[in-house]
A = this chain, B = another copy of it.
Amino acid sequence: MNSVGQALEFWVKRLALRGPLTACDRDMILDLPGVTKTYRPSQDIVQLGARATQVSLVVDGVIARFGQARSGARQLTALYIPGDMCDLHSAVLPVVSAPLQSTQGATLYRISHDDIRDVANRSPALARAFWRDCAVDGQIASEWLLNVGRRSAIAKLSHLICELACRFTAIGQPLANFSIGMTQNQLGEATGLTGVHVNRTLRLLREQGLIAASANGLKIVDWPRLVAVAEFDTAYLHLPN
């Protein structure tokens, strides 16, 4: 179980990545007032068409943004893990065009738009950092587009697993054995596959010795080969280190 302080630390670390922040900037972020709120599995965080008034820092759990076709089929368009600000763009674009949901339960730290905008007005460096954070989100979406549009099922899933493994590692979760916190159906919604086909493809990955089942999720057995199958390259994630 992570704490709000930890999550804020992770976020500041990311913000400071390519444009060093002053101690003052850093403190402005760490001192941001907010409200902690917990969510049940599949509970809506913001609804389609609503007008957001706060941004949400993920403290614990996994948050999914998704779109929905008329048929009811869902497509996850982004995943957020602890230390991610899952709603930052809403500070400049408040109308919610894609709802957010927790996948397996989550706790968020919600900060008002006014406070975010105030901080951005006072520090050009932070304004730029917020802008950059959204730009990174956009690059991840681009990579997902390539994944969903042009790769085989086995590459799609491997790619998603690699991405999550790297992101969890960056926040101190062990890579070898991590819990994704998503059902196979949700994995399908993220990759443009069916839950059923995700199941078969995971079995394939297991049979090929790339991953293995484990108590609380899945275990990565052969990282180099998984990366090769996924055609995975971390660059687009812009992770610290």
Contact partners of A65 in chain B: CB under 8 A: 142
Q: Does A13 touch B at the CB level, under 8 Å?
A: no
User: Residue on B with the closest CB to A19?
Assistant: B92
A132 to B138, CA, bound (A): 12
Q: Does A1 touch B at the CB level, under 8 Å?
A: no
Q: Choose among B69, B124, B137, B146 the residue that contacts A146 (Cβ–Cβ < 8 A).
A: B69
User: How many residues belonging to A are interface residues under a CB distance threshold of 8 Å?
Assistant: 51
Q: Which of A93, A124, A127, A138 has the most CB of B within 10 A?
A: A138
A135 to B65, CA, bound (A): 14
A208 to B130, CA, bound (A): 46
Contact partners of A136 in chain B: CB under 8 A: 93
A86 to chain B, nearest CB (A): 12
Tell whether, in the assembled complex, residue A132 and residue B231 are in contact, meaning their CB atoms are under 8 Å apart.
no
A98 to B138, CA, bound (A): 11
Tell whether, in the assembled complex, residue B95 and residue A149 are in contact, meaning their CB atoms are under 8 Å apart.
no
Contact with B along A51-93 (1 / 0, CB 8 A): 0000000000000010111110111011000000000010011
Tell whether, in the assembled complex, residue B192 and residue A139 are in contact, meaning their CB atoms are under 8 Å apart.
no
Contact with B along A142-168 (1 / 0, CB 8 A): 111110111100010000000000000
Q: Choose among B121, B132, B150, B151 the residue that contacts A92 (Cβ–Cβ < 8 A).
A: B132
A93 to B238, CA, bound (A): 9
Q: Known: A98-B142, A121-B124. Is A131-B77 also a contact (CB below 8 A)? A: no
Q: Choose among B73, B128, B142 the residue that contacts A78 (Cβ–Cβ < 8 A).
A: B142
Contact partners of A236 in chain B: CB under 8 A: 97
